[in-house]
């Protein structure tokens, strides 16, 4: 999320409307918005209807707790940032969906692990095309 927020001006120039979806409770979602300074709307999908509609299922034990994911967390710690303890279902995976103004899905990336996200440049290339 941090990388996306760092490029907010560029996203605004492209006329993008970013919306985040969370299955957190309203109280936890509000805390997240305050903690991160989130610049975009956050939709709460506690029953995970949108997650299900876009094929974003919970991950397997191996997908969630793989050595690759631990490596990402160790790099975050090495930079002086401590990951926050999980508040909810750590197994639920997410993804990125880019929908054009006509309602057509241009990019549909379902994460295979908690750290699996497409590079922002790939998402922006999808917007520009």
Please give the Cα distance from 47 to 66 (Å, whole number): 27
Residues 6+ apart with CB under 8 A from 114: 59, 64, 69, 90, 93
For 67-92, write each residue's pLDDT tens digit. 888 888 888 899 998 877 777 788 99
Inter-residue contact 59 to 113 (CB < 8 Å): yes
Average pLDDT over residues 100-123: 88
pLDDT of residue 93: 93
Which domains, and CATH codes, for the chain? 2-128 (3.40.30)
Burial class (CB in 10 A: 0-12, 13-18, 19+), 22: buried
Strands (E), 1-129: 20-22, 42-44, 95-99, 105-110
pLDDT of residue 1: 63
For 4-53, write each residue's pLDDT tens digit. 888 888 888 888 888 999 999 999 999 989 988 898 999 999 999 999 99
Please give the Cα distance from 126 to 18 (Å, whole number): 14
Per-residue confidence band for 126, with pLDDT thresholds at 50, 70 and 90: confident
pLDDT of residue 44: 95
């Amino acid at each position: 999320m941090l990388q996306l927020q760092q490029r907010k001006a560029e996203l605004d120039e492209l006329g993008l409307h970013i919306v985040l979806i969370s299955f957190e409770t309203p109280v936890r979602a509000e805390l997240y918005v305050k903690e991160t300074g989130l610049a975009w709307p956050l939709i709460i999908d506690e029953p995970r209807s949108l997650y299900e509609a876009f094929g974003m299922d919970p991950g397997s034990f191996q997908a969630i707790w793989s050595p690759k994911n631990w490596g990402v967390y160790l790099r975050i710690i090495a930079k002086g940032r401590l990951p926050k303890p999980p508040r909810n279902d750590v197994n639920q995976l997410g993804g990125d969906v880019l929908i054009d103004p006509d309602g057509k899905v241009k990019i549909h990336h379902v994460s295979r692990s908690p750290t699996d996200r497409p590079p922002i440049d790939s998402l922006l290339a999808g917007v520009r095309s």
